[in-house]
Structure 1
Amino acid sequence: MTSHQLCSFFYSDLGEGLFQCKKCGCKRKQASGSGYSNLLGHMGAKHAGYASTLNSKPLPPPQPSTCSVRTMKTYMRFTAAKVGQTIEGEMGESFALMYDGWTCHSLHFLGIFAVYVVNG
């Protein structure tokens, strides 16, 4: 669990960097960009059993982040190009091709693999 999730569970955001502890009502100031150490320090000092409280509660399911099809395809192309560059740098002059074919119901698949030795 991230520090942000912990602080969201135990603190109410009052705005302008001010947070209120849900257990004792204490208000804490959190400087922008400084992380959550001030808030977590209060939990450790004043509410030593806060971890057991958290562990006894069911966590909400994680929310998947949204991504457009266009963005996904862009990153897939970028990843494929980077993998290709890495393989090109490692493969060298000597390699073998290996073929594998299989079917699933009425679909036929063919895999072509390059086999090579790295640092050997």
Structure 2
Amino acid sequence: MQPSIHHTLLKCSLFILSSSSTPSTFRPHHATFTPAQVSGFYFRPCRDDHDEVILEYFRCRCGTVRKQTRRNGYSNLMQQVPREHPDYEAIMLAASTAETGSMLSYNNLPLSFCENRAARRYTNLDPICVETLVSAMDSLTRVVERAIAAELPERFGLLFDGWTHASQHFIAAFACYDAGG
């Protein structure tokens, strides 16, 4: 079977694009990082005077502000990175896996992260489902509650500490007592 003219032209154009390889050994370049990882590494959400996130606006490490809408995904942010940071892949390869997003950051993830294939790459434990994870967390909570109840004396003080960060409100409760008696 003879190759079509279109197939031959495609092979020739790929050869021209890659001067260091021959058409028979040419392999397309696969990105080391996804657009989401590159954007997450180079861009942070813009914030106003009250530390509130300004929707759709992101600031690059070099200071440039770009707009990203759901409609265009990461394309607007990705136009900036290769132009302003031509060595971005080398920089990201030298960075830690948590910084690049190739390892999951476990802050504020839904409990379904345990079913995520990317999360499973970093463990040799048997896979579990969300229901099993929730059950194990409930069991651990009960064990910790019993341990605290066994240690607390009959009389103790309560200390509350509250704070706000980026329109989220937090409160912590501490039990205060003399451990020696």
Give the TM-score, by structure 2 length: 0.34
Give the TM-score, by structure 1 length: 0.50
